[in-house]
């Protein structure tokens, strides 16, 4: 596939964020099997070592686990997934508010733009 990574940060970090995101979004279901290190590397167009590094970090977080020769799986600890989801959301929101505020936007203005763009991107939900 050869996904296009940004040169702004290390690939292994970008890969961590992408997989973490797909997990908390439910796109990668709890307990479901992940591609093998080698397949994941091919899928994203990176070196197996880089994929391994990202997976090892996600494992450290507890979001995935490895069964020695059957492969890697998304954790079944729904509580953990939900916690990570909430933490990510909180962080996102705090950073977002800080940025917009420092650029001189008012809360009402931001709300208006968000609702507008949200509809543009995904319809009214």
Partner DNA sequence: ATTAATGTACTAAGAACTTAATACAATAAT
Partner DNA sequence: ATTATTGTATTAAGTTCTTAGTACATTAAT
Footprint of DNA (CB under 7 A): 7, 10-13, 34, 36-39, 45-50, 52-53, 55-56, 59, 66, 68-72
The nearer residue to DNA, 34 or 63, going by C-beta atoms, is: 34
Token duo for residue 123:
């319809």
Q: Write out the residues near a second copy by the rule CB under 8 A.
A: 8-10, 13, 21, 24-26, 85, 88-89, 92-94, 96-107, 110-111, 113-115, 117-118, 121-122, 124-125
């Amino acid at each position: 596939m050869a996904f296009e990574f940004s040169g702004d940060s290390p690939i292994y970090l970008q890969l961590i964020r992408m997989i973490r995101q797909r997990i908390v979004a439910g796109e990668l279901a709890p307990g479901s099997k992940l591609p093998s290190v080698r397949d994941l590397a091919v899928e994203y167009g990176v070196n197996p070592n880089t994929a391994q590094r990202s997976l090892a970090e996600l494992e450290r977080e507890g979001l995935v686990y490895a069964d020695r020769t059957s492969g890697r799986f998304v954790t079944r600890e729904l509580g953990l997934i939900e916690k990570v989801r909430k933490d990510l959301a909180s962080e996102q929101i705090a950073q977002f508010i800080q940025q917009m505020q420092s650029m001189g936007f008012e809360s009402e203005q931001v709300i208006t733009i968000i609702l507008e763009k949200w509809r543009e991107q995904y319809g009214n939900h």
